[in-house]
Amino acid sequence: MGIFFVTGAGLSLADTDENSRRVEEKKRVIIDQAPLNEVVHRKEYSFESGGWLNYRISDYDELDNDRTEKDYFTRSLRADVRLWGRLTYRPSTASDPDKDYIYMRIKDIYTELQGTEPGARFDNRGPQVDYAYMGMDHNPWKVEAGRRYFIIGRGIAYSGVHDGVQVNYQPAGLNCTGFISQLPPHTSNIDTSVPGYDKESRRYFAGAGIALTKMKQHQIYTYTVLERDHSRERPENPFQDYRYDAEYFGLGSNGQWADQWPYWAEIIRETGYSREFPSNARSNISAWAFDAEQKFSTKWASKVVFSAEGALGSGDGDREVPTNTVYGNRSGRDHGFSYFGYLPTGAALYPALSNLRLLRLGVDAYPFYRIDLLRKILLGVDYYHYWKDRSDGGFSDLDATVARRDIGQEIDLKADWWVTKKVFLSAEWGSFLPGKAYDRSHRSETQVVSLSMSVIF
């Protein structure tokens, strides 16, 4: 969640490509690493600015896994512009690292869609505020307030651009954090069965965590996140309540077993309550999730990295739609893991971690390291295999209607190239082959191809 209720095959393109959490997360990493251009520098304060422009084209083939039907969407083109600035104040003593700062980032996204879908073909979202926050970094305390990216643990249970306040206290060997936040205005509800779901989603979050950082090669952490749903129905449905209130308890560790062997593992327990459909009775949530990744970084000149990842999000046997109240849990405890963060999955299906088990094997390398012009080209391949946790429950692709576990397999190829420090090119191809969880009329191979260019200025 935060991932959309229909993903991969059969989804609305408004929720794919750049609007999907998957692609937005890739953008965030590039933008957050972009250098700031110093405009003003004085003894006690400085002002820095920057910008980012991205063009992306994506082609889609058989999103509905049915070659007898024409595809609703076949291509998307998108231009994304973001501009930012930061004002920083520092004490007069050069040895004092403390600082106060204000950061703002504006974005504007223009989209064109092609296909047989009769709806809107053009859309422009913005200019609008992407980030806007102020902060105080006075060791061992750090406080930031405003619209920013919040994350706790691996970011599965909770992460995203929200409005709120976060406090970090970092004495020697510890990292303690706490936050309160809410979804930005005009955010669509992840429960698309709520009347007027696209008009607003009022969800509030509070969380706290502690990490032990004193160990030489490992960091152990634990956290708690509370989510409270105060979303409104427009119009009001007197026969059904859609409220979903959840608590998450996470325990994890990251580090390396030895040189060249980095890892990350996290287990999440979810409790709270949801509403049954159609009885409207209150139902207790009892769900959980797990994710673990192991890498092996070679010492070869091509910097080859092998990785293996396994993840699981529990499912509920009578839930047809993981994130919705309507056609959601029908009776008894709600065992469907539902979350407000992100876990990266494949380029063609990218399912949510709800009623899902996955295995990923990957290899990344810089094969052209001997050629100066091409030495920063990263090539990678990932193999995914997906299964349902409960064969009789639905998962995020609603075309998988058969009560079988095998969702299917996927192969992804990627090529990333930092041509210069300010020009980044990327290409991606994904192919998903549906398994026995799809009926025979929906087992056509889905393919997605994306090309993008980013310019930092």
Sign of CA dihedral 305, 310, 313, 317: positive
Which CATH number belongs to the domain containing residue 177 in this structure?
2.40.160.100
Q: Which candidate, 189, 104, 201, 202, places its Cα nearest to that of 148?
A: 104
Query: How much of the chain, in percent, has pLDDT values that exceed 90?
Result: 74
Sign of CA dihedral 158, 240, 322, 289: positive
Residue 97 located in a structural domain: no
Looking at this protein, which amino acid is placed at residue 92?
S
Per residue in 440-456, pLDDT tens?
Answer: 988 999 999 999 999 99
Q: In total, how many domains does the chain have?
A: 1
For residue 448, the Cα-to-chain-centroid distance in whole angstroms is 19
Q: Which candidate, 52, 59, 42, places its Cα nearest to that of 451?
A: 59
Per residue in 49-87, pLDDT tens?
Answer: 999 999 999 999 887 777 777 777 788 899 999 999 999
Beta-carbon neighbour count of residue 58 at 10 Å?
A: 22
Residue 74 located in a structural domain: no
Beta bridge partners of 412: 382, 430
Beta bridge partners of 340: 158
Mean pLDDT calculated for residue range 182-197: 92
Per residue in 313-361, pLDDT tens?
Answer: 999 999 999 999 999 999 999 999 999 999 999 999 989 999 999 999 9
Residue 105 located in a structural domain: no
**Does residue 137 carry a pLDDT above 50?**
yes
Would strands 282-297 and 75-89 be described as parallel, antiparallel, or unpaired? unpaired
> In whole angstroms, how far apart are CA 268 and each of 15, 30, 156, 271, 348?
26, 28, 9, 10, 26
Residue 327 located in a structural domain: yes
Residue 391 located in a structural domain: yes
Looking at this protein, which amino acid is placed at residue 443?
R
**pLDDT confidence band for 12 (50 / 70 / 90):** very low
Looking at this protein, which amino acid is placed at residue 285?
I
H/E stretch holding 26 = helix 21-32
**pLDDT confidence band for 391 (50 / 70 / 90):** very high
pLDDT at 79: 95
pLDDT at 7: 36
Mean pLDDT calculated for residue range 74-102: 87
> In whole angstroms, how far apart are CA 126 and each of 14, 41, 131?
16, 31, 13
Residue 7 located in a structural domain: no
> In whole angstroms, how far apart are CA 104 and each of 120, 318, 381?
31, 45, 36
Copy the structure tokens of residue 108: 């504007």
User: CA-CA distance, 186 to 82, in Å (whole number)?
Assistant: 20
pLDDT at 362: 98
Q: Which candidate, 105, 244, 226, 129, places its Cα nearest to that of 185?
A: 129
Per residue in 14-29, pLDDT tens?
Answer: 444 445 788 889 899 8
What pTM, to 2 d.p., does this model score?
0.91
pLDDT at 264: 96
pLDDT at 119: 61
> In whole angstroms, how far apart are CA 46 and each of 85, 89, 101, 147?
11, 7, 9, 22
Mean of the per-residue pLDDT values for the chain?
A: 90
**Does residue 6 carry a pLDDT above 50?**
no
Residue 170 located in a structural domain: yes
**pLDDT confidence band for 10 (50 / 70 / 90):** very low
**Does residue 3 carry a pLDDT above 80?**
no
Per residue in 365-380, pLDDT tens?
Answer: 999 999 999 999 999 9
Mean pLDDT calculated for residue range 218-235: 95
**pLDDT confidence band for 94 (50 / 70 / 90):** low
**Does residue 8 carry a pLDDT above 60?**
no
For residue 41, the Cα-to-chain-centroid distance in whole angstroms is 36
Residue 319 located in a structural domain: yes
pLDDT at 210: 97
Domain that holds residue 198: 13-36+140-456
Least confident range of 66-75, 148-157, 292-301: 66-75
**Does residue 272 carry a pLDDT above 80?**
yes
pLDDT at 120: 57
Contact 430, 447 (CB under 8 A): yes
